[in-house]
Structure 1
Amino acid sequence: MIPPALPSQPAADPSRDARLRDAAQRLEAGFLKEMLSAAGLGHAPSSFGGEEGEDQFSSFLLDEQALRLARSGGIGLAESIYESLKARDAG
């Protein structure tokens, strides 16, 4: 008697994995941005004049800093989210 075939696992899609990892890193970056902002980073010092544009550009800088932190390992949140999304996707 021939044993029944095992259900095949779908082949890993590298582009899907890359999109899942990017989404996880961006989510962690959003969290890190809020944490950095609450810690007082990203607020222009009053010595620069305090113009409205400074706050907007400070926000851009904070976005980029948080994203780079997340992409360089951050606090590990992105990896946990990525693994969870990947397991859910495979399940």
Structure 2
Amino acid sequence: MNVIANPYDKTSLINGRRDPLLADALTKISPEAQKKTRAKAEEFEAMFLNSMFSQMTTGVKGEGPFGDTTGTGVWRSMLTDEYSKSIAKSGGLGISNDVFRTLILQQANRVG
């Protein structure tokens, strides 16, 4: 099936480039399923970033928000979680784009 997609449609762009395979797959998947898949991909990237930030701040000692007090561990984990979600939602590292593409292609293959 040869699909001619709208060149102004940003949904079939991955990392700024047109992806004809993704454009074809998106025609087979409902907009609701695409929205859920995008959310799950962003959630996955946020989880990855959270793990990375947690490892990065493990050895930090000192005063202030990253000091070494009793409540710092809990506060730091909440902070890194929010940073991770915020960064993933605003575009992140691009991991969510690749995860989204892979999940959409798998769903399209199942559909037909």
User: What TM-score, normalized by structure 2, do the two folds share?
Assistant: 0.61
Among candidates 15, 29, 44, match of residue 12 of structure 1: 29
Structure label with greater radius of gyration? 1
Deviations 1:3-61 (A, max 9, x none): xxxxxxx75322211111111111111111122222227x5x53246333221121111
Question: Is the partner of 1:50 in helix, strand or coil?
Answer: coil
Runs of 4+ in 1 over 4 A off after TM superposition: none
Alignment of 1:60-71 (within 5 A): 60-71=78-89
What amino acid is the match of 2:30? D
The answer for the alignment partner of 2:62 in structure 1 is 46
SS in 2 for 1:46: coil
What letter corresponds to residue 46 of structure 1 in structure 2? G
Match of 2:9 in 1: none
Gaps of 5+ in 1: 1-9
Distance (Å, rounded) in 2 between the aligned partners of 1:84 and 1:90: 10
The residue matched to 2:63 in structure 1 has which SS?
helix
Call closer, same or farther: CA 1:66–1:25 in 2, change over 3 Å. same
The CA distance in 2 between the partners of 1:50 and 1:19, in whole Å, is: 39
Identity of aligned residues (%): 28
Matched, 1:90 2:105: no
Structure 2 unaligned residues grouped into runs of 5+: 1-26
